[in-house]
Amino acid sequence: MKTILVTGGAGFIGSNFIHYLLGNYSEYKVINLDLLTYAGNLENLKDLAHHGNYLFIQGDISSSALLEAIFKANPIDYVVNFAAETHVDRSIREPEIFVRTNVLGTANLLNVARKYWVNRDDSYGGNKFIQISTDEVYGSLSAKGFFTEDTPYNPRSPYSASKAGADLLAQSFYATYGFPVVITRCGNNYGPYQFPEKLIPLMINNALQKKPLPVYGDGLQIRDWLYVEDHCAAITLVLQKGKVGTVYNIGGRNEQTNLQVVKTIINYLQKHVDPLITVDLIKHVADRKGHDRRYGIDPTKIQTELGWSAQTPFHIGIEKTIRWYLEHQEWLANVTSGEYQSYYQKIYGRLEQ
Question: How near is the Cβ of 183 to ligand NAD at its closest, in Å?
Answer: 11
The active-site residue out of 159, 227, 325, 343 is 159
Q: At residue 10, what is the residue type?
A: A
Question: How near is the Cβ of 59 to ligand NAD at its closest, in Å?
Answer: 7
Q: CB-wise, 40 or 158, nearer to ligand NAD? A: 40
Binder among 28, 82, 248, 344 for ligand NAD (CB under 6 A): 82
Q: What DSSP letter does each residue of 330-343 carry, written as one string?
A: HHHHHHTSTHHHHH
Question: How near is the Cβ of 78 to ligand NAD at its closest, in Å?
Answer: 16
Give the helix/strand (H/E) hosting 227: strand 222-227
User: By CB under 6 A, what part of segment 105-144 binds ligand NAD?
Assistant: 105, 132, 134
Number of residues lying near ligand NAD (CB under 6 A) = 31
Distance in Å from the first CA to the final CA of the chain = 56
Question: How near is the Cβ of 85 to ligand NAD at its closest, in Å?
Answer: 6
Query: Residue of minimal CB distance from ligand NAD?
Result: 11
Dihedral (Cα; 170, 188, 56, 101), 10-degree rounding:
50
**Sequence-separated (6 or more) residues with CB below 8 Å from residue 69:** none
Question: How near is the Cβ of 210 to ligand NAD at its closest, in Å?
Answer: 26
Is residue 29 within 8 A of residue 3, CB to CB? The reply is yes
CA separation for the pair 20, 18 (Å, rounded): 5
Question: If 0-12 CB within 10 Å is exposed, 13-18 middle and 19+ buried, where does residue 42 land?
Answer: middle
CA separation for the pair 139, 147 (Å, rounded): 9
Q: CB-wise, 16 or 281, nearer to ligand NAD? A: 16
Build a one-symbol-per-residue string for 24-43: x at contacts with ligand NAD by CB under 6 A, - elsewhere.
Answer: ---------xxxxx-xx---
Q: Can you name the residues that pair with 225 across neighbouring β-strands?
A: 188
CA separation for the pair 100, 63 (Å, rounded): 11
Q: CB-wise, 189 or 264, nearer to ligand NAD? A: 189
Q: How many residues does the chain have?
A: 353
Q: What is the largest CA-CA distance in the chain?
A: 64
Q: CB-wise, 14 or 180, nearer to ligand NAD? A: 14
CA distances from 350 to 131, 295, 346 (A): 38, 29, 9
Is residue 10 close enough to count as binding ligand NAD by CB under 6 A? yes
Please list the helix, strand and coil fractions of the chain in percent, rounded to the nearest 5, in that order. Answer: 50, 20, 35
For residue 292, indicate whether it is catalytic.
no
Q: CB-wise, 91 or 281, nearer to ligand NAD? A: 91
Binder among 5, 6, 7, 179 for ligand NAD (CB under 6 A): 7
Q: At residue 298, what is the residue type?
A: D
CA separation for the pair 297, 158 (Å, rounded): 21
For residue 248, indicate whether it is catalytic.
no
Q: CB-wise, 173 or 193, nearer to ligand NAD? A: 193
For residue 136, indicate whether it is catalytic.
yes
Is residue 106 within 8 A of residue 183, CB to CB? The reply is no
Question: How near is the Cβ of 303 to ligand NAD at its closest, in Å?
Answer: 18
Binder among 70, 76, 77, 86 for ligand NAD (CB under 6 A): 86
Is residue 239 close enough to count as binding ligand NAD by CB under 6 A? no
Binder among 14, 192, 251, 317 for ligand NAD (CB under 6 A): 14
Is residue 83 close enough to count as binding ligand NAD by CB under 6 A? yes
Binder among 60, 167, 224, 255 for ligand NAD (CB under 6 A): 60
CA separation for the pair 295, 223 (Å, rounded): 5
Name the residues annotated as catalytic: 135-136, 159
For binding to ligand NAD (CB under 6 A), which residues are involved? 7-8, 10-14, 33-37, 39-40, 60-62, 82-86, 101, 105, 132, 134, 163, 186, 188-189, 195
